[in-house]
Chains A and B, each alone.
Chain A
Amino acid sequence: MTGILLLEQALNGLQFGLMLFLLASGLTLVFGIMDMINLAHGALYMVGAFFAAWLTALTGTFVGGVLLAIVLTAAVGMVLESTLLRTLYARDHLSQVLATFALILILNESVRMIWGSDLPLRAPAALAGPVELLPGLYYPSYRLLIIAVGLVLAVVLYLLVTRTRMGALVRAGASNREMALAMGVNIRRLYTAVFGLGAALCAVAGAMLGPLLAVQVGMGETILILAFVVIVIGGIGSIWGAFVGSLLVGFVDTMGRSLLPFLFREFLPPQWAAAAAPAVASILIYLLMAAVLFLRPQGLFAARS
């Protein structure tokens, strides 16, 4: 029984981690290549989820809604980059934080004005039930779909970064921006493309998590904090770091929530365990981040030394 519990929790951790990865990969590229702290990244996740909910209702198919949402969110991201965020690259980090924080507020209220504070989004009815993976291990089929999408995108992203010309430019930009500029890379176009890619990945995460969680204004802020934890752990600018960091955060959070209560009950009086376990479980990923910062301040896989 405990084996099955661990396996199910491992799947849960994987599912959560992969979705975090979709957000963190965009964030880490923007941070690593453009040296830009983009707090509004979470807002794009929200915009993607709202597009998906709206377009799913409009087109009548979940797949169609999600695909259109990805395209539209990427477009929104690229427009934002080429009109507004571009002017911030030369500024210091504080100005970027202030400006993109303002952007969060503006996007939140714009979404509220257009669609209201939340929209319903349901997974396809065919994926409503559980699947028996092993005898005794039932797992919700929709969560399996999320895992599959996350894994496929991780592979695609890996190939894109390591095997294509754009990927080479991205890696060059991340490891040494001035040198890449000096070598004649069209940085402006590259930046816009990277930003669009990040926004598209946000939209995938928002649209896939929407039916599981809720499509609502402000959904981006909570997950953005986790995405920042991921890139700090993984090392700024590194896709591989974002991947490892996401899975670490996903596993530690899920395992902490489910196993800490058992662990604490072994060593502590029950009323202490009941009080301490949820409290410690909720700060576990921040402890992980603090430990990584202490041992390797540059993150596990920093793109730059």
Chain B
Amino acid sequence: MRNRLMAGLIAGTLAALTAASPALAADKVKIGFVSTLSGPSAALGVDIRDAFMLAVKLNGGRLGGLPAEVTIVDDQFKPDVGKQAFERLVKRDKVDFMTGVVFSNIMLAGLPEAVGNNTFYLSPNAAPSPVAGKDCNPYFFAVSWPNDAYHEAAGQYATNQGVKSAFLMAPNYQAGKDSLAGFKRFYKGQVVAEVYTKLGELDYAAELAQIRAARPEVVYTFLPGGMGINFIKQFVAAGLNKSIKLIQPGFGTDQDVIRAVGDSMLGLFDAAHWGMDLDNAANKRFVAEFEKEYKRLPTVYASQGYDTAMLIDSAVRAVGGKIEDKDAVRRALKAARFDSVRGEFKFNTNQYPVQNYYLREIQKDAQGRLVNRIVGRPVFTAHGDAYVQDCPMR
């Protein structure tokens, strides 16, 4: 009780101090970073964090010319823990930007704390459909890709390949439903089954038996993080990889999964908005510096974390460090004047990206490592999302 009183007093004093200071250029930019940094899905949050901090480091510890102060909090894969962290960072620490969250359910729990207090949330991953449509918000930017997009591209690829029957599976939560809706939007063949499992499920024995019985031509799953690693391992252990083709969204067969599963992933296909071999200067620098700094190859998550930091950098620079002027910051963010590692992209009216999507295949590189390589032409070019017309922002 007394602690809370003290915290209240300190917060009050700080608020008074902040209110008293004139709206000049800030002396630093404060960023709250909440992400999943422990448990079986920790690799995703760790990649976003590491790439974000790499961008800060490459900018000499500054973003947009101001010293960057990044407070990192682990949400432990729990929405309530994430929400508390948001509240603390936004209300007590008064950060200028919030970012970091991997999972939609955690992001949606924390988001009202940020946007409700006029604090920008720049999503380095989760970009659920409601926030693209009717719940769009001037303080929310999706720097990654709409939740449906990878799945739409994968569905289009399956259609292009003339796939007749597909078995779909996702966790039973918002992003899971978005993902399979996205796949079905562009997939023209038959869906033999659509299975929703518990979020965080690690044992897929029951579902694998169903897949074996259903004999589909293709299995498409949206299982981020540890769920996907366990699923692919168990899929291979059950011998299903010999008769059924597995298609994945880009993160489902990314470097973190390859590290955990190993050689049996060679030849799998996935869809993504970024690849290590995308030919642009920003990307080459990012991939080289990331590998040098962390001795591993970056994932799509890492590319998104890096781009998020670079977006903040560009916006803070554009407003000359006057980050109290929220309208100016918003205009600068929306302009997205930075060299994204994904190449050209722009923000739509709902502040979700319009960009290209590629098909990638897991191949061996010159050093014999398994890596994702972009094959063929983009599956989609300048692709937006299906919800933008529901967004009242113009």
Chain A residues within CB distance 8 Å of chain B? 1-2, 4-5, 8-9, 12, 15-16, 112, 117-118, 120, 128-130, 138-143, 212-214, 216-218, 254, 257-258, 261, 274, 277-279, 282
Contact = CB atoms under 8 A, between A and B. Distances in A.
B174 interface: no
Contacts, number: 90
Nearest to A261: B195
29 contacts: A1-B213, A1-B215, A5-B210, A12-B209, A16-B203, A16-B205, A117-B38, A118-B39, A118-B40, A128-B236, A128-B237, A138-B212, A138-B238, A140-B237, A140-B238, A143-B205, A212-B203, A214-B40, A214-B226, A214-B230, A216-B39, A218-B39, A257-B197, A257-B206, A257-B207, A258-B207, A258-B209, A278-B196, A279-B172
Contacts of B42: 117-118
Q: Quick one: which of A15, A141, A277, A278 has the most chain B CB within 10 A?
A: A278
Given A5-B212, A218-B39, A254 B206 contact: yes
A16 B193 CA distance: 24
Interface string B310-345: 000000000000000000000000000000000000
B163 interface: no
4 closest Cβ contacts across the A-B interface? A117-B38, A130-B239, A5-B213, A12-B205
A117 B212 CA distance: 34
B212 A8 contact: yes
B38 A9 contact: no
Contacts of A2: 213
Given A8-B212, A117-B42, A261-B193, A278 B172 contact: yes
Contacts of A15: 205
A266 B195 CA distance: 16
Interface size class of B (residues with CB under 8 A): 20 to 34
A214 B77 CA distance: 15
Given A254-B205, A282-B198, A129 B237 contact: yes
A257 B42 CA distance: 27
A118 B38 contact: yes
A5 B207 CA distance: 10
Contacts of A277: 196
A284 B290 CA distance: 47
B39 A140 contact: no
Contact of B202 (A213, A218, A257): A213
Nearest to A116: B38
Interface in B229-262: 230, 234, 236-239, 260
A129 B172 contact: no
Interface string B179-215: 0000000000000011111100011011101101101
